[in-house]
Chain A
């Protein structure tokens, strides 16, 4: 445990130094993007083909509770930090990102604040304010495959605890109600469930490949049970001190993982 403590402290110090050097070398948004791309290439395992197709960011429940009693400045600081992580993910070309906040405050209270922060930043850094496809904003009657967008769009959704078990129960009830007068009803199957998931949690690559997990080290945080069949959970700590170097180390860890799929 002492070795782990010193190791994690060393990683944090290294990250802070790297972050400081980054700020010294960047003069423009183009420099910022190029810096991240160059850093990414230093990690041989991170390539366009090996980055996850769907990343989920699991926020720490305590951080979310703290926001309930925080002032506006703390809230902006928190969501600025979260936007940085999303921007890095966009630059390394992760096409789909889900943010899981089991507390629900991001989804139900702070969504517009976070949305405007992220859109402003992407306009400045990426020179594109139309790159984000907010799946939570799609109308209820949109079909599950209509969230497939041209490749320039990054699909982003916010999930919370009410999207998990209760949705599966709702899907069961929906199936029953659809077949009340059908004596030869079909067997409910995975295809039916996948096509009836909430819009913002369905469609292509709906199962996250990797979770950037800020929740407590020895605790599962309540993420959506249907979606995590093969998700790799990589625990990281200190959200406010989670710098680019650490993010790339996380990505590198994921890219090194061997998947066997039962074989």
Chain B
């Protein structure tokens, strides 16, 4: 505890990452190494996840995104999948019971992914946990369940297509990188990506949001991940902060310059700007209004989705 406070106060002197993403890999290998049942490995992994959330909250990290369960993980043995769903039921039910504590801490829980393969009971519990904390604004925990980044990108594309073709709220000219990102499950780019267990791949996790971010691939198995590993990662982030931020900004600037040079619409509007300034301004105002209406609409659709999920299965109160 004393070491924790000392290390924490050291870190608070430097830049704090806003958004950390974690691929929590190694639960089953941890269980095998310690001659435990796989289920115990997953339970320990969940416990480590909660510890990480606490450390991050104390440090001032605003968003944590964890890769809890991939769509590909449904290929695992049925027993294991059923256990993981039951573990989610149990742990999220505990969070619902403790929602007053989460409210005090200002922690909001979001669950993101394609919920169609998830059992109805689990969906209802997840939705209830999301709704119980939706007004909290201190920090955000994104839990990726039945998630892949490819599906997330497709989800954004489908939303935008529907917005143009069915709902007629936007036009295809309104679609740009910002709007595309607003339609994704996770809108914020990552500052740090962590993967444990020594693998050096992203496994379809936040491929869009991690394009330019700090990466840390650690050999430690997820249940063994401790505050000292977290401290090391944030310390490394702070040590390289100015250097890497400059690199990231340079690369982002180059990419934006290339896109401006390659986008003919920009060059046309620049050449006509002197004569059509007021028309462009009007068009931009109209575009902004369309986009705001569309974003409000998809926000309402998301709330409706979680309402339906919550009431789709009778839960004992």
Q: A136-170 CB contact bits vs B (8 Å, 1 = yes)? A: 00000000000000000000000011101110110
B215 touches A (CB below 8 Å): yes
Greatest chain B CB density within 10 A among A104, A173, A218, A262 is at A218
In whole angstroms, what is the CA distance A185 to B255 when docked?
A: 33
| In the complex, chain B residues whose CB is within 8 Å of the CB of A219 | 212-215, 244, 247-248
Tell me the smallest distance from the CB of A206 to a CB of chain B, in Å. 13
A121 touches B (CB below 8 Å): no
Is A176 within 8 A of B164, CB to CB?
A: yes
Residue of A nearest to B80 (CB): A263
Q: Which of B150, B161, B165, B259 contacts A229 (CB 8 A)?
A: B150
Given contacts A166-B259, A172-B180, contact A177 B254 (CB under 8 A): no
In whole angstroms, what is the CA distance A185 to B201 when docked?
A: 35
Is A169 within 8 A of B153, CB to CB?
A: no
A73 touches B (CB below 8 Å): no
B48 touches A (CB below 8 Å): no
Is B251 within 8 A of A222, CB to CB?
A: yes
Residue of A nearest to B262 (CB): A162
Q: B199-226 CB contact bits vs A (8 Å, 1 = yes)? A: 1111110011011111110000000000
Q: Is the interface of B mostly helix, strand, loop or mixed?
A: helix
Q: Which of B158, B177, B216 contacts A187 (CB 8 A)?
A: B158
Chain A stretch 215-259: residues in CB contact (< 8 A) with chain B: 216, 218-223, 225-226, 228-235, 257
Given contacts A229-B202, A231-B202, A262-B75, contact A216 B244 (CB under 8 A): yes
B70 touches A (CB below 8 Å): yes
Is A173 within 8 A of B175, CB to CB?
A: yes
Is B250 within 8 A of A61, CB to CB?
A: yes
Is A162 within 8 A of B158, CB to CB?
A: no
Q: Which of A61, A169, A221, A232 contacts B201 (CB 8 A)?
A: A232
B104 touches A (CB below 8 Å): no
Residue of B nearest to A179 (CB): B165
Given contacts A172-B161, A172-B180, A229-B150, contact A161 B200 (CB under 8 A): no
Residue of B nearest to A164 (CB): B211
| In the complex, chain A residues whose CB is within 8 Å of the CB of B175 | 169, 172-173, 176
| In the complex, chain B residues whose CB is within 8 Å of the CB of A5 | none
Residue of B nearest to A223 (CB): B211
Is B251 within 8 A of A61, CB to CB?
A: yes
Is B150 within 8 A of A262, CB to CB?
A: no
| In the complex, chain B residues whose CB is within 8 Å of the CB of A188 | 154, 157-158, 161
Given contacts A220-B193, A226-B153, contact A176 B160 (CB under 8 A): yes
Is B236 within 8 A of A218, CB to CB?
A: yes
In whole angstroms, what is the CA distance A176 to B74 when docked?
A: 32
| In the complex, chain A residues whose CB is within 8 Å of the CB of B164 | 176, 180
Q: B129-172 CB contact bits vs A (8 Å, 1 = yes)? A: 00000000000000000001110011011101100110000001
Is B180 within 8 A of A169, CB to CB?
A: yes
A38 touches B (CB below 8 Å): no
In whole angstroms, what is the CA distance A185 to B158 when docked?
A: 11
Is A220 within 8 A of B255, CB to CB?
A: no
Tell me the smallest distance from the CB of A74 to a CB of chain B, in Å. 20
Is A261 within 8 A of B72, CB to CB?
A: yes
Tell me the smallest distance from the CB of A250 to a CB of chain B, in Å. 12
Is B211 within 8 A of A218, CB to CB?
A: no
Greatest chain A CB density within 10 A among B73, B161, B216 is at B161
A102 touches B (CB below 8 Å): yes
In whole angstroms, what is the CA distance A225 to B148 when docked?
A: 12
Q: B45-77 CB contact bits vs A (8 Å, 1 = yes)? A: 000000000000000000000000011111110
In whole angstroms, what is the CA distance A218 to B232 when docked?
A: 13
Is B212 within 8 A of A231, CB to CB?
A: no
Is A228 within 8 A of B161, CB to CB?
A: no
Is B76 within 8 A of A220, CB to CB?
A: no
| In the complex, chain A residues whose CB is within 8 Å of the CB of B199 | 257
In whole angstroms, what is the CA distance A168 to B161 when docked?
A: 13
Is A233 within 8 A of B200, CB to CB?
A: yes
A134 touches B (CB below 8 Å): no
Is B255 within 8 A of A102, CB to CB?
A: yes
In whole angstroms, what is the CA distance A103 to B254 when docked?
A: 6
| In the complex, chain B residues whose CB is within 8 Å of the CB of A257 | 199
Greatest chain B CB density within 10 A among A166, A182, A262 is at A262
Offer 10 A-B interface pairs, CB within 8 angstroms, sorted by A: A102-B251, A172-B156, A180-B164, A190-B150, A221-B251, A222-B211, A229-B150, A230-B201, A261-B72, A262-B70
Question: Other CB < 8 Å A-B pairs besides A188-B154, A193-B154, 20 of them?
Answer: A160-B258, A165-B208, A171-B157, A172-B157, A172-B160, A173-B172, A176-B160, A177-B172, A179-B161, A180-B164, A180-B165, A189-B154, A219-B244, A220-B211, A220-B213, A221-B212, A221-B251, A226-B153, A230-B201, A230-B203
Q: Which 9 A-B pairs have the closest CB atoms?
A: A262-B72, A161-B255, A225-B207, A176-B172, A229-B204, A225-B208, A172-B157, A173-B172, A162-B258
Which residues of B line the A interface, CB within 8 A? 70-76, 148-150, 153-154, 156-158, 160-161, 164-165, 172, 175-177, 180, 193, 199-204, 207-208, 210-216, 236, 240, 244, 247-248, 250-251, 254-255, 258-259, 262
